[in-house]
Homo-oligomer: A and B are copies of this chain.
Amino acid sequence: MSERDGRTRRRGEELISAIHAAVLQEVLEVGVGRLTMDGIAKRAATARTTLYRRWSDPIEVLVDALYHAHPVEEPTPGADDLRGDLIRALQLMVKWTLSPAGLAVAAILTDPKGSAKVSDALFEKVFANRGGTFTSTVLRHYAERGHFPAELLTPVVADIGEALITKRLLDTGKPPTDTDLAAIVDQAILPAIGLMPAKPE
Protein backbone atom coordinates (compact mmCIF):
# COMPACT_ATOMS: atom_id res chain seq x y z
CA MET A 1 0.00 0.00 0.00
CA SER A 2 1.55 3.24 1.19
CA GLU A 3 5.28 3.52 1.53
CA ARG A 4 6.51 1.94 4.72
CA ASP A 5 10.21 1.55 4.04
CA GLY A 6 12.06 -0.44 6.63
CA ARG A 7 10.00 0.98 9.47
CA THR A 8 8.35 -1.56 11.72
CA ARG A 9 6.25 0.70 13.91
CA ARG A 10 3.47 2.94 12.76
CA ARG A 11 2.84 6.21 14.56
CA GLY A 12 0.41 9.09 14.64
CA GLU A 13 -1.67 9.57 11.52
CA GLU A 14 -0.67 6.35 9.88
CA LEU A 15 -1.48 4.25 12.90
CA ILE A 16 -4.72 6.02 13.60
CA SER A 17 -6.12 5.59 10.14
CA ALA A 18 -5.25 1.91 10.30
CA ILE A 19 -7.26 1.73 13.51
CA HIS A 20 -10.14 3.67 11.98
CA ALA A 21 -10.23 1.28 9.05
CA ALA A 22 -10.13 -1.60 11.49
CA VAL A 23 -13.17 -0.46 13.49
CA LEU A 24 -15.23 0.10 10.40
CA GLN A 25 -14.31 -3.32 9.12
CA GLU A 26 -14.98 -4.84 12.49
CA VAL A 27 -18.40 -3.30 12.91
CA LEU A 28 -19.40 -4.81 9.58
CA GLU A 29 -18.42 -8.27 10.60
CA VAL A 30 -19.59 -8.45 14.18
CA GLY A 31 -22.06 -5.60 14.51
CA VAL A 32 -22.03 -2.69 16.89
CA GLY A 33 -23.07 -4.85 19.79
CA ARG A 34 -20.05 -7.03 19.59
CA LEU A 35 -17.36 -4.47 19.01
CA THR A 36 -14.46 -5.10 21.37
CA MET A 37 -11.17 -3.37 21.98
CA ASP A 38 -9.60 -6.74 21.50
CA GLY A 39 -11.12 -7.30 18.10
CA ILE A 40 -10.20 -3.85 16.86
CA ALA A 41 -6.65 -4.17 18.15
CA LYS A 42 -6.15 -7.54 16.56
CA ARG A 43 -7.51 -6.37 13.22
CA ALA A 44 -5.36 -3.27 13.27
CA ALA A 45 -2.39 -5.40 14.31
CA THR A 46 -1.67 -3.22 17.28
CA ALA A 47 -1.74 -3.65 21.05
CA ARG A 48 -4.83 -3.07 23.15
CA THR A 49 -2.76 -0.70 25.22
CA THR A 50 -2.41 1.60 22.26
CA LEU A 51 -6.16 1.83 21.93
CA TYR A 52 -6.73 2.58 25.58
CA ARG A 53 -4.24 5.43 25.40
CA ARG A 54 -6.59 7.23 23.07
CA TRP A 55 -10.09 5.93 23.58
CA SER A 56 -11.86 4.38 26.49
CA ASP A 57 -14.24 1.99 24.77
CA PRO A 58 -14.98 0.54 21.34
CA ILE A 59 -17.85 2.91 20.66
CA GLU A 60 -15.57 5.89 21.05
CA VAL A 61 -13.21 4.42 18.52
CA LEU A 62 -16.09 3.90 16.13
CA VAL A 63 -17.47 7.39 16.53
CA ASP A 64 -14.02 8.81 16.00
CA ALA A 65 -13.59 6.75 12.86
CA LEU A 66 -16.88 8.00 11.45
CA TYR A 67 -15.99 11.53 12.36
CA HIS A 68 -12.84 11.27 10.31
CA ALA A 69 -14.41 9.40 7.43
CA HIS A 70 -14.71 11.12 4.09
CA PRO A 71 -17.76 13.36 4.00
CA VAL A 72 -20.81 12.44 2.02
CA GLU A 73 -20.68 13.52 -1.58
CA GLU A 74 -23.46 15.95 -2.43
CA PRO A 75 -25.67 15.78 -5.47
CA THR A 76 -25.20 18.77 -7.77
CA PRO A 77 -28.28 19.39 -9.87
CA GLY A 78 -27.33 20.23 -13.44
CA ALA A 79 -28.97 22.12 -16.20
CA ASP A 80 -32.33 20.79 -17.11
CA ASP A 81 -32.58 17.12 -16.43
CA LEU A 82 -34.71 16.41 -13.39
CA ARG A 83 -35.02 12.71 -14.11
CA GLY A 84 -31.31 12.27 -14.75
CA ASP A 85 -30.35 14.28 -11.69
CA LEU A 86 -32.65 12.24 -9.50
CA ILE A 87 -31.11 9.03 -10.74
CA ARG A 88 -27.65 10.44 -10.14
CA ALA A 89 -28.65 11.49 -6.62
CA LEU A 90 -29.80 7.96 -5.90
CA GLN A 91 -26.59 6.59 -7.37
CA LEU A 92 -24.68 8.81 -4.97
CA MET A 93 -26.71 7.46 -2.10
CA VAL A 94 -26.08 3.88 -3.12
CA LYS A 95 -22.40 4.63 -3.53
CA TRP A 96 -22.16 6.16 -0.07
CA THR A 97 -24.20 3.36 1.46
CA LEU A 98 -21.71 0.86 0.14
CA SER A 99 -18.68 2.74 1.43
CA PRO A 100 -17.14 1.48 4.68
CA ALA A 101 -18.52 4.44 6.58
CA GLY A 102 -21.97 4.05 5.03
CA LEU A 103 -22.15 0.39 5.87
CA ALA A 104 -21.02 1.14 9.40
CA VAL A 105 -23.67 3.81 9.78
CA ALA A 106 -26.27 1.33 8.60
CA ALA A 107 -25.05 -1.18 11.14
CA ILE A 108 -25.33 1.44 13.86
CA LEU A 109 -28.68 2.93 12.95
CA THR A 110 -30.26 -0.47 12.97
CA ASP A 111 -28.71 -1.67 16.17
CA PRO A 112 -31.21 -1.91 18.98
CA LYS A 113 -28.62 -1.07 21.57
CA GLY A 114 -26.51 1.59 19.96
CA SER A 115 -29.14 4.26 20.29
CA ALA A 116 -28.08 7.09 22.51
CA LYS A 117 -24.34 7.42 22.48
CA VAL A 118 -23.62 6.74 18.85
CA SER A 119 -26.67 8.04 17.07
CA ASP A 120 -26.25 11.53 18.45
CA ALA A 121 -22.67 11.76 17.33
CA LEU A 122 -23.78 10.38 14.00
CA PHE A 123 -26.55 12.77 13.23
CA GLU A 124 -24.39 15.70 14.10
CA LYS A 125 -21.62 14.66 11.79
CA VAL A 126 -23.08 12.66 9.00
CA PHE A 127 -26.53 14.03 8.54
CA ALA A 128 -26.44 17.60 9.72
CA ASN A 129 -23.55 18.24 7.40
CA ARG A 130 -25.54 17.23 4.41
CA GLY A 131 -28.59 19.40 3.82
CA GLY A 132 -30.94 16.49 4.22
CA THR A 133 -31.69 13.64 1.95
CA PHE A 134 -30.02 13.01 -1.37
CA THR A 135 -33.00 13.48 -3.62
CA SER A 136 -34.39 16.46 -1.77
CA THR A 137 -31.42 18.58 -2.81
CA VAL A 138 -32.31 17.88 -6.41
CA LEU A 139 -36.04 18.20 -5.91
CA ARG A 140 -35.70 21.56 -4.16
CA HIS A 141 -33.55 22.83 -7.00
CA TYR A 142 -36.15 22.05 -9.63
CA ALA A 143 -39.11 23.10 -7.51
CA GLU A 144 -37.53 26.54 -7.11
CA ARG A 145 -37.26 26.77 -10.85
CA GLY A 146 -40.90 25.98 -11.35
CA HIS A 147 -40.56 22.53 -12.87
CA PHE A 148 -43.30 21.36 -10.54
CA PRO A 149 -45.46 22.87 -7.77
CA ALA A 150 -43.31 23.44 -4.70
CA GLU A 151 -46.12 22.47 -2.32
CA LEU A 152 -45.90 18.90 -3.61
CA LEU A 153 -42.40 18.62 -2.16
CA THR A 154 -43.48 17.37 1.25
CA PRO A 155 -41.27 15.49 3.74
CA VAL A 156 -42.91 12.26 2.62
CA VAL A 157 -42.12 12.91 -1.01
CA ALA A 158 -38.55 13.87 -0.21
CA ASP A 159 -38.11 10.50 1.46
CA ILE A 160 -39.50 8.24 -1.26
CA GLY A 161 -36.29 7.50 -3.10
CA GLU A 162 -34.15 6.91 -0.05
CA ALA A 163 -36.87 4.83 1.56
CA LEU A 164 -37.19 2.49 -1.42
CA ILE A 165 -33.45 2.03 -1.65
CA THR A 166 -33.20 1.32 2.04
CA LYS A 167 -35.97 -1.24 1.81
CA ARG A 168 -34.37 -2.95 -1.15
CA LEU A 169 -31.10 -3.18 0.73
CA LEU A 170 -32.81 -4.62 3.78
CA ASP A 171 -34.87 -7.08 1.78
CA THR A 172 -32.33 -8.40 -0.65
CA GLY A 173 -29.06 -7.36 0.92
CA LYS A 174 -27.92 -6.32 -2.54
CA PRO A 175 -27.60 -2.81 -3.89
CA PRO A 176 -30.16 -1.72 -6.50
CA THR A 177 -29.00 -1.59 -10.10
CA ASP A 178 -29.29 1.50 -12.27
CA THR A 179 -32.39 -0.01 -13.79
CA ASP A 180 -33.89 -0.29 -10.33
CA LEU A 181 -33.04 3.33 -9.64
CA ALA A 182 -34.68 4.43 -12.86
CA ALA A 183 -37.78 2.47 -11.92
CA ILE A 184 -37.89 4.17 -8.55
CA VAL A 185 -37.64 7.58 -10.14
CA ASP A 186 -40.19 6.87 -12.88
CA GLN A 187 -42.71 4.91 -10.87
CA ALA A 188 -42.56 6.56 -7.48
CA ILE A 189 -40.83 9.94 -7.31
CA LEU A 190 -41.93 11.60 -10.53
CA PRO A 191 -45.60 10.65 -10.10
CA ALA A 192 -45.52 12.08 -6.59
CA ILE A 193 -44.53 15.49 -7.90
CA GLY A 194 -47.18 15.38 -10.55
CA LEU A 195 -45.02 14.31 -13.44
CA MET A 196 -46.06 11.04 -14.92
CA PRO A 197 -43.30 9.80 -17.18
CA ALA A 198 -44.28 10.00 -20.83
CA LYS A 199 -44.20 6.31 -21.60
CA PRO A 200 -42.24 4.06 -19.26
CA GLU A 201 -42.18 1.23 -21.76
Contacts and interface: CB of A to CB of B under 8 A. Distances in A.
Nearest to A201: B151
Interface of A: 27-34, 106-107, 109-113, 115, 152, 154, 156-157, 159-160, 162-164, 166-168, 170, 173, 180, 183-184, 187-188, 191-192, 194, 196
21 contacts: A27-B112, A30-B113, A31-B32, A31-B111, A33-B33, A33-B34, A106-B110, A115-B173, A154-B183, A156-B180, A156-B183, A156-B187, A157-B187, A157-B188, A159-B164, A159-B167, A163-B163, A166-B170, A167-B167, A191-B192, A194-B196
B31 A112 contact: yes
Contacts of A32: 31, 33
Contacts of A34: 33-34, 113
Contacts of A163: 160, 163-164, 166-167
Counted per complex, copies of this chain come to 2
Contacts of A152: 187
A124 B188 CA distance: 29
A164 B170 contact: no
A113 B29 CA distance: 6
Nearest to A186: B156
Query: Residue among A106, A109, A154, A159 with the most chain B CB within 10 A?
Result: A159
Contacts of A168: 159
Given A30-B112, A32-B33, A156-B184, 20 more contacts: A27-B112, A31-B31, A31-B33, A31-B112, A34-B113, A109-B170, A110-B170, A152-B187, A154-B187, A156-B164, A156-B187, A156-B188, A157-B187, A160-B164, A162-B167, A166-B166, A166-B167, A167-B167, A191-B192, A194-B196
Contact of A110 (B27, B30, B110): B110
A157 B154 CA distance: 18
